[in-house]
Amino acid sequence: MSLDDIKSFSKENMAFDPTGHDFLHAQRVAKLAQKIYTEDFKKDETDIGLYVVKAASYLHDTIDEKVTADKKNRLREVRIILSHENIATPAREDILDIIQHMSYSDNIEHHYQLSNEGKCVQDADRLDALGAIGIARAFAYGGHAGQEIYDPKISVKEIKTHDDYRHHKSTTINHFYEKLLKLASSMNTRMGKQEASRRTKYMRDFLSEFQMETGVKDET
Ligand code: ADP
Ligand code: NI
């Protein structure tokens, strides 16, 4: 249960990603998810639970379509890596379940019920979309996607479907209102909620400052 192979696989496949889904993102998620797990699930915490949290954190974006052009094959590779780990089948299945069902976009139309370990990884991933790092990642993603910083002519859209989220023309400032400011109310854990609220306040301050400097209307 050393995680070395899993970390190497993650590092290899997320070495450089200009959309904010790089290996440092995986490392931050792993660190934060562990902290949430030991804090929020103290009484149920187990060594294998902690292993699941770390493994799922490192692997969660390796199968993301933004990171791989061949999700099916990447998932096959993840299964092989996991089959070589000395863990029981339920833990292996849980890691696979978490990484396939935790994403924001997959939970817009359905609400997948994750294990406690999955809830921690999902919260940590969402926290990394918030605060100073969240702001940086949003603009990195926007630049890479060829999206404008802001455009007074493009209005904020209410996101109801996976398709709305993935395919409508947005701006990075609108993305804050369409998704990022809503994350705090969808957190699973006590620590996740608390930290999301702190980071969201910081983003609201950023948006007020942005509004003052640019004159772009604050939508909240
Ligand atoms: P998930 O993988 O959970 O479905 P995404 O990959 O869509 O979530 O989002 C991960 C991060 O990428 C977001 O939190 C945000 O920082 C950035 N991102 C995604 N879509 C956009 C967008 N349209 N504009 C700016 N940033 C975005
Ligand atoms: Ni992620």
Across the range 34-47, mean pLDDT stands at 91
Please state, in angstroms and rounded to a whole number, the distance separating the CA atoms of residues 192 and 104.
15
Please state, in angstroms and rounded to a whole number, the distance separating the CA atoms of residues 54 and 172.
30
The three-class DSSP label of residue 109 is coil
Q: Ligand 1 pocket test: which of 100, 139, 141 has the largest number of ligand atoms within 8 Å of its C-beta?
A: 141
Across the range 57-71, mean pLDDT stands at 90
pLDDT given for residue 218 in this prediction: 55
**Is residue 184 situated within a structural domain?**
yes
**Is residue 220 situated within a structural domain?**
no
Please state, in angstroms and rounded to a whole number, the distance separating the CA atoms of residues 62 and 22.
9
Helix, strand, coil tally for the chain in percent (to 5): 65, 0, 35
Mean pLDDT of the chain: 93
Q: Ligand 1 within 6 A of 137 CB?
A: yes
Helix axes 71-83, 89-101, angle to 10 degrees: 160
Work out the burial of residue 70: count CB atoms within 10 Å of its CB; fewer than 13 is exposed, 13-18 middle, 19 or more buried. exposed
Ligand nearest to the CA of 136: 1
pLDDT given for residue 68 in this prediction: 86
The predicted-structure confidence for 11-33, as pLDDT tens digits, reads as follows: 999 887 777 889 999 999 999 99
**Is residue 65 situated within a structural domain?**
yes
pLDDT given for residue 219 in this prediction: 55
The predicted-structure confidence for 172-220, as pLDDT tens digits, reads as follows: 999 999 999 999 999 999 999 999 999 999 999 999 999 999 987 655 5
The predicted-structure confidence for 97-112, as pLDDT tens digits, reads as follows: 999 999 999 999 989 9
pLDDT given for residue 15 in this prediction: 80
Q: Ligand 1 pocket test: which of 22, 162, 179, 199 has the largest number of ligand atoms within 8 Å of its C-beta?
A: 179
Q: 139: phi > 0 → left, psi -120 to 50 → alpha, else beta; which?
A: alpha
**Is residue 22 situated within a structural domain?**
yes
**Is residue 41 situated within a structural domain?**
yes
Q: Ligand 1 within 6 A of 126 CB?
A: no
pLDDT given for residue 17 in this prediction: 78
CA 104–ligand 1 middle distance (angstroms): 8
Q: Ligand 1 within 6 A of 130 CB?
A: no
CATH code of the domain containing 57: 1.10.3210.50
Helix axes 47-59, 4-13, angle to 10 degrees: 20
**Is residue 152 situated within a structural domain?**
yes
Which candidate, 147, 32, 46, places its Cα nearest to that of 87? 46
Across the range 26-43, mean pLDDT stands at 95
For the record, the structure tokens of 144 come out as 């890479």
Q: How far is CA 169 from CA 63, 78, 160, 174, in A?
A: 24, 33, 15, 10
CA 48–ligand 2 middle distance (angstroms): 22
**Is residue 219 situated within a structural domain?**
no
Domain count, the chain: 1
Across the range 60-80, mean pLDDT stands at 91
Across the range 37-59, mean pLDDT stands at 93
For the record, the structure tokens of 53 come out as 């949290």
For residues 56 and 28, is the Cβ–Cβ distance under 8 A?
Answer: no
**Is residue 35 situated within a structural domain?**
yes
Q: Which domain holds residue 81?
A: 4-214
